[in-house]
Amino acid sequence: MAAEKPAPSPTPPPPTQLPKGRHGLSREFVASNQRERLIDAMANVVAEKGYAPTRVVDITEYAGVSRKTFYELFTDKEDCFLAAYDAITALLMDKLGRSLAAAQDTWEAKVHALLGGLLAFMAAEPAFARMCIVEVLGSGPRGLARRDAAIEAFFPIIGALPDAEIGDAEWLSPVTPMFIVGGVLEVIYGAIRSGQTESLPELEEDLTRLAFRAYLHPAEWHRVAHRGAQAQA
């Protein structure tokens, strides 16, 4: 007689799911956990349905949180969206800051680290990417103000170039950081809208090269290209 197979172990609940019943957790921990679940739900529901059609009930059902709890934590849908946007951009900026700190001290290396980190994050978190790049455009004046602030945070990073790494100063424009960041975001927006979010890291080399060229006198392009050819020889 064949040995009886052991019963399969029960699947553990998702890490964000609180245990049912009297769990003994503090009220502060429960509120924080529910807030994180609602923020995650906001990103995922908005990515699927779009900002305008998303309802509070869609968010609470996805998060497994009551409507009463939602309104204890957020004023309305917009308030939850803004909290999610702030949380996601803070996480992204922290990751990029650590990538920049670990990069070699040349502008080319730092731009690679910045763009590589940004593209990898978007590819790994497609719901977050769609929410912060696409859906924020339809979220209203407060959401657009958050977007503007997030974009402007990149300007000093892009503009902080070692003097030895740039071309003739007379060719440099004060709007170049805006030009680079805006162009990169437009490329990312197009990829997300066309369902190619996961392929974003493949654009790192092209975007880095274009960002570098935006800061160089045309004669410097030849010098940099020649230097690269010598390095490969």
What local confidence, expressed as pLDDT, does residue 191 receive?
A: 97
pLDDT tens profile 137-156 = 999 999 999 999 999 988 87
Instruction: Identify the pLDDT of residue 4.
Output: 46
Rounded Cα distance between 91 and 15, Å, is: 19
Mapping DSSP to helix (H, G, I), strand (E, B) and coil, where does residue 74 land? Answer: coil
Query: Could you read off the pLDDT of 71-118 as tens digits, one per residue?
Result: 999 999 999 999 999 999 999 999 998 988 898 877 778 888 999 999
pLDDT at 57 over 60: yes
Q: Which residues contact 107 (CB under 8 A, 6 or more apart)?
A: 161, 162, 165, 166, 212, 215
The pLDDT tens digits of the residues spanning 183-217 come to: 999 999 999 999 999 999 999 999 988 887 787 76
Mean pLDDT value of segment 13-27:
50
Decide: 197 and 126 in contact? Cβ < 8 Å. Answer: yes
Helix (H, G, I), strand (E, B) or coil at 45: helix
Per-residue pLDDT, averaged over 170-192, amounts to 87
